[in-house]
Each structure stands twice: as structure tokens, then as C-alpha cells.
Structure 1
Amino acid sequence: MAFKFKDIKIIQKLVDNPTMTLKEVANQLGLSLALVHKRVKRLEEEGIIRGIKSTFNPFDETISIACFFKSTKHAKEILCGFHNLPYEVSFVLENDVHYQIVVSIPPSETNQLLQRLNAFRRYSEEFFIQVVLKPRGKGWTHLLDAYNKDTNSWEMPIADMLAEVRELAG
């Protein structure tokens, strides 16, 4: 599908504020409501926009705690303990003894969770924890800025990014 710059701006507005009406999008972009509606319909038909859904998150902010462990005898009990948590939990199974569990929790629950995780240590041969902090508000809409309206193409400044990484690495 060939993108138009207006399509990118419409998508960016809808992603930045999912509760925004098409009329508000049109007003902010200086476009007619009919044009915005037509473009959104086309994006839906092309599969770029796949339905509209409301999202619910009971917490304003979360952090992720990643727990890596090895257990040859008690893996089932540890996994069940994580599964019973009232939070979003992701499981990564490397093999039948190595596991990674990521729990997303509100910051106010961090100390209590870490204390409870400490109890799992005695049931595992290896055990360590990482706290994963997510930057606020960045999301992914900044990637839409990679669309060049003059060439109607996506341009990622990979060479610039690699040079920056090399400079930081010394």
C-alpha cells in the first residue's frame, strides 16, 4: 500500500490519543471530516487499521520485574506461584529447567513482590531478578516520523544510529 503523508498524520493522532474522535483529528490536522473518514475507511480496508477497541488498564503506571531461575525439582510449584499472581505475567521457557517470568505491577507493589519472590530462592539452583523500567510516554509513534513525505517512503536513519552506537561504545 502506498502511504500518503496525511495518512501517517491521521494514524499518529489516533495512536497518540485513541479516544480522539475523527472530527477532532480533522480539526487538528486542518482537514475535512469527510476526508479523514474516507482515509480511515481506506486504511481499514487495507488492513492498516484493524478495528477500534477500547483499552483497559487498571494501573496508571507499571514496572516489570523479570525473574530468571533454574529448578530441576520445583519448577512446577514456582510457575504455579507466578501464574496465581493477580497481574500480567509472561512466561519464557528456555528448556525444562530454565525459565524467565516477567510480572508487570504497579510501583506501589514492588517491595511486597520482591519479598515474596525471595521465598522462591530456596527452591531453585539459580535465581536472579531484573527490574525493567519503561520510559514514559514515548510509545512508538515517533517511528511514524520516519516517513518522508517528499519521497513517499519510509526512511530509517540506520547509518546515523549505528554511528551513534559506535561512538557510545568507544
Structure 2
Amino acid sequence: MTLDTIDRKILASLQKSGRMSNSDLSNRVNLSPSACHRRVQRLEADGYIRGYVALLDPRKIGVPTTVFVEITLQAQADEVLEAFEKAVARIPDVLECHLMAGTADYILKIVAENTEDYARIHRQHLTRLPGVAQMQSSFALRTVFKTTALPI
């Protein structure tokens, strides 16, 4: 399926406000409510829309500290990568894990209460990850820009 202009407007609008009513969405993209609803259902069924979430304020939740961790593994064998990926997916404080091309094999995005909490996460989880040869942690001082919206 290819996306037309209306599909793109629907996706862009829902990325900014996923709780928007179908009536408001249909007005925004100049479609009837029933036609708009059918398009949204099709975009969901075709996998363009994977789900809907609430974006929480990390400070209010008590995890204002963001840490990026570069990880280099001892080897690149499939079983080493697979074991690492399964283990890291079980750490609740890890928001993202990316397999990289470059100096690190993986980059993790972790949230914590503060540096002491990160030390706990490091001690209890990160040091126990299989196949790790080296780890480098960088603390974010301030988030300058952040979005979840993909360019449409």
C-alpha cells in the first residue's frame, strides 16, 4: 500500500495527538468521519500505526536522569548477540537498545532516579550482561529536543 496525502496528514496528526477524536481528525484532514475512520483502521491493519501510548513526564515519574551506555561485546557471533539482546530486554530501566555500526556494538538509553540509582542499575544489571567486553556511560545534562513523531 502506498500512502497518499490524506494518509500522511492522518499519520502526522495522530503522532501529535493520538487521543484526538475521529470527528476532530476528520475535520483536520477534510474527510467525512466515516471515511476517516476507515482510513485509520486500514493504517492500523497495514501496520503503519503500531499502537497508541501515553507519553509520561520522566521527572514526575521519578526518573529524570537519562544515561546513554555504549557497549562493546567480546565477539560478534550470532549466539553472543542473541544472548545479549535477550538479557538487555529484561532490564526495566532500559528504554532503547540499538545495534550499531561504528565504535560501539550497542547503545542503550537508560532512565534512572539519579546517579546513585544508575549505579544500582549498573551493578545489578549491566555488569551481568553476557558477552560484554567494555562499557562507556554518558549522562545527559539536559534534553534540548525530543520527539516521537517520524517525518511524514
1:35-69 CA-to-partner distances (Å, cap 9, x unmatched) read 2112223323434334x444475735662331547
Matched residue, 1:44: 44
Q: Structure 1 residues 36 and 131 mapped into 2: Cα distance closer, same or farther (>3 Å)?
A: same
Matched residue, 2:14: 14
- Residue correspondences, number: 125
Name the structure with the higher helix share: 1
Confirm or deny that 1:87 pairs with 2:96.
no
In structure 2, what is the Cα distance between the partners aligned to 1:85 and 1:103?
11
1:8 CA drift (Å):
0.3
> What are the within-5 Å matches in structure 2 for residues 17-96 of structure 1?
17-50=17-50, 52-55=51-54, 57=56, 59=58, 63-66=66-69, 68=71, 87-88=93-94
1:12 CA drift (Å):
0.8
In structure 2, what is the Cα distance between the partners aligned to 1:68 and 1:135?
24
> One-letter code of the match for 2:69?
A
TM-score (norm 2): 0.53
The residue matched to 1:48 in structure 2 has which SS?
Answer: coil
* Alignment RMSD: 4.3
> One-letter code of the match for 1:129?
S
> One-letter code of the match for 1:12?
A
In structure 1, what is the Cα distance between the partners aligned to 2:13 and 2:72?
42
- Please identify the structure whose Cα radius of gyration is greater: 1
Matched residue, 1:112: 116
Kept in 2, the 8 Å contact 1:91–1:99? The answer is no
Q: Matched residues, percent identical?
A: 19
TM-score (norm 1): 0.49
Contiguous gaps of at least 5 residues in structure 1:
72-78, 145-170
Contiguous gaps of at least 5 residues in structure 2:
75-83
In structure 1, what is the Cα distance between the partners aligned to 2:49 and 2:66?
28
1:2 CA drift (Å):
2.6
Confirm or deny that 1:130 pairs with 2:141.
no
Kept in 2, the 8 Å contact 1:89–1:101? The answer is no
